[in-house]
Amino acid sequence: MVLASLLLWHIVYEELKTLDNRQWLDSLVCNYYLSFIWHDSGDDAHYCFLMIFRLRPDLQITPIKIDTYRHAHHVPTTVDCPIIPVTFLIHDAESAHYFAMIFNYAANIAYIFRRKIGDHNTHYNPDWRAWQGPEHWQIIADPHHWNAKDPEMVFVISRDCRQNGYDYGPIACAIIKMYMENGLEETWTMFQELPINPPSISCDHILHLTMLEGI
């Protein structure tokens, strides 16, 4: 099991300090925590693409990473993989910002959660091409052997909530955890109906403690 790797655990352990107050969370900590939640939930968990993408020009996934991902997350290779919604994190290392994504390939919809940092962010561009969304759409479909539809035909919708400048990582992880436990429809409905934070997302300190306990 990937989570049992001593090398991986040691690296994650060294980065637990990024769970301290007013720190920017390391992406390895996010990935390890979400992997734990997904594996611990067994057959009850909704699907999660447990690979964090960093914003950079080269988005290609190496064959070794693809094989590791398929093995760790039980992606079938001898039969067709069911087309189901996939969730993952995007990390902008320069701004330390994380936001959560759900790709629904069956419905041809991309859901964006909390990408906008603030109301006064003059650099915010709502177009998903600004973070290479179309490329992600294809790259995530490939390991599952899905025939992804033309990204130009994808319906992209987003929902933003209050953010404090430090807890992007824990909040993005909480959104993905919510999806894994409740499914796409209920998660999106919560964000549509509430202008600030869904009730399932705890305060920032509790989010840090929950992640620490899980790891």
Q: What per-residue confidence (pLDDT) applies to 134? A: 93
CA 91 to chain centre: 9
**Collapsing DSSP states into helix, strand and coil, what is residue 127?**
coil
CA distance 35 to 152: 31
Cβ-contact 206, 177 below 8 angstroms:
no
CA 6 to chain centre: 24
Q: What per-residue confidence (pLDDT) applies to 65? A: 80
Q: What per-residue confidence (pLDDT) applies to 54? A: 67
CA distance 156 to 100: 13
Q: What is the pTM of this model?
A: 0.82
158 Cβ neighbours under 8 A, 6+ residues apart: 111, 112, 113, 115, 116, 126
- Block means of pLDDT (10 residues each) for the chain, 215 residues, are 69 86 83 82 59 67 81 79 86 80 93 78 78 90 87 90 72 87 85 61 77 84
